[in-house]
Amino acid sequence: MRANLSILITAVLLVFTQSACSQQTRKMKLNPLTPAEQAVILHKATERPFSGEYENNYAKGTYVCKRCDAPLYRSESKFDAHCGWPSFDDEIKGAVKRIPDADGKRTEIVCANCGAHLGHVFLNEGFTPKNIRFCVNSISMKFIPDKVMTEQEKNQETAYFASGCFWGTQYYLMKAPGVISTTVGYMGGHTKNPTYKEVCTGETGHVETTEVVFDKTKTSYDALVKLYYETHDFTQVGGQGPDIGDQYRSVVFYTSENQKHIVEKYIGILTEKGYKVATILRLAPEFWKAEDYHQEYYEKKHGTPYCHIYRKIF
């Protein structure tokens, strides 16, 4: 009697578990599948050997589930097992679930996120030191190549400067030789994606900031720091000219230790010249782009800054 009751409870739990998993999968955003993809991914068929798209793909990138886009394998784990299907000797942690086949002879592998059939896993074949082979159907996956930086991108660097109203900060920096682009926005606060109106309350903690993307072969971070200091009153605390408030502080947000050291160098030079530098130096947090009407404001209005004036110091 107890044995029968135990079997009944186990069966009920299994039904509930399968039902919950099914409901969870239905709620998931799943990609539409072609009939050929359905045959493998949903009905566990196997694509013909040596016919898959990724059998001989050795580009750098990530293989993701065709059904739900969950990352499964990295290209570094792929190897040629001469079996006709993509083979990997490692998975992205927690990405793949193993299920014994009904006949007990093989172990099926499925996407741990959505349950899509991937293929089978084999042990102790000696192909690689890890001694494991995930044999996967190409049709069960999508390949996302790693972004390859162009020579132009390798020469680019990003800087963040705050010196009062960002209209004036951008006005000078966007005209500097070697600058590729400038964008005004907000940094350093405690709320996400703030509006100008919210920043102006002084309650978000953000600073009006200009993002500068520049070409390192045509200018330098040193040159931009010099221009930054030569176009605002870096001795003023809590504002800039008539603009008073935390959003108008003099702040440099650095993206690397090298940038930090360069700013510290110029703060030291200015201090030696007798200036009391109020600039705050902070590691760059997330940059939130400001509203479109703030971008290149003086260019649109055909005007000039009212509180940013160039004066040579260095």
Known active-site residue 165: yes
Catalytic member of 65, 135, 200, 307: 135
Question: DSSP label at 107?
Answer: E
CA distances from 227 to 20, 37, 177, 186, 310 (A): 61, 58, 11, 20, 8
Contacts of 251 (CB under 8 A, 6+ apart): 161, 162, 187, 188, 207, 209, 279, 280, 281, 282
Catalytic member of 111, 114, 165, 307: 165
CA distances from 278 to 160, 186, 236, 258 (A): 17, 19, 6, 21
Structure tokens given for 314: 């260095």
Rounded Cα distance, 163 and 226, in Å: 13
Contact, 219 vs 182, CB < 8 A? no
Known active-site residue 135: yes
The catalytic residues are: 135, 165
